[in-house]
Amino acid sequence: MHGEALKVGELARRTGLTVRTLHHYDEIGLLKPSLHTEGAHRLYTATDVARLQLVLSLRQLGFSLEEVRACLDRPGFSPLEVIRLHVARLREQIELQRELCERLEALAGCFHPAAEVSAEAFFQTIEVMHMIENYYTPEQLEYFKKRREEGGAALEERARQVQALWAELMEAYRVEMEKGTDPADPRAQELEKRRQALVNEFTGGNPEIEQSLKRMWEEQGEKFAAQFGYDPKALEYMRKVNEAAKGSA
């Protein structure tokens, strides 16, 4: 008796699906049992089970129920074509997710591994990341990425050092400013030289990157200051020192 046709529960148990799923496939016309008992209980024949196997196969390959139905109901669809399309879609998704992963890791890399990170700092960092992505061209960002990858741990360490040096430098600016040192004064111009050295290290001498960086600082310097805790007034002073340097050149 049991070799003839299966009831939903039976079929569900054998396939590992749920009864609800089979009901659903019936509802949407993907797999309608060929038979019913007098009391309207579903009876799945061997043919139905075979079709279900196909459904499961295609589902495993990541097709939507709609696509599965299209494949099964349109005789003479092109399997290879379908697969190629599907692979292409998958590749795109994977690429997007990979990029997302990279961004997230870059974000995480901005903080000390074990440090407590405030929501404040977190969001500011995100903002800065967005800014960076807005000010540099895709090619320049690509170049940065490559440099990071090739530089390895040593470059990462140096990046931390540079960040510290920047903080020191900004503090030095602040001190001179408080002392009332004239922007054209050699003591201030000494700071300008240190600044240019750091900038050069970052840009690698590439004038386009320097351009982008400059524009970003000019337009968004305050945000950086906020992000890293620099004194905005020191930032202003730094700009004046830079002006003075250009004026004397």
Residues in contact with a second copy by CB under 8 A are: 53-54, 57-58, 61-62, 71, 75-80, 83-84, 86-87, 90-91, 93-94, 97-98, 100-101, 103-105, 107-108, 111, 113, 115-119, 121-123, 126-127, 130
Q: Which is nearer to DNA, 59 or 145 (CB)?
A: 59
Determine, following the binding rule CB under 7 A, whether residue 54 of this chain makes contact with DNA. Answer: no
DSSP 110-123: TS-TT----HHHHH
Contact 234, 240 (CB under 8 A): no
DSSP letter (8 states) at residue 42: E
**Phi and psi (nearest 5°) for 219?**
-90, -25
> CA-to-CA distance for 198 and 214, rounded, in angstroms?
13
Please give the residues from 125 up to 154 whose contact with DNA meets the rule CB under 7 A. Answer: none
Write out the two tokens for 80. Answer: 């290879």
Cα distance between the two ends of the chain? 100
Residue 64 binding partner per list a second copy, DNA, none, with a CB distance cut-off of 5 to 8 Å that depends on partner kind: DNA
Of 8-16, 139-147, 155-163, 223-231, the window that binds DNA (rule: CB under 7 A) is: 8-16
18 is a contact residue toward DNA (CB under 7 A): yes
Residues that bind DNA (CB under 7 A): 7-10, 12, 18-21, 23-24, 26, 37-42, 59, 64-66
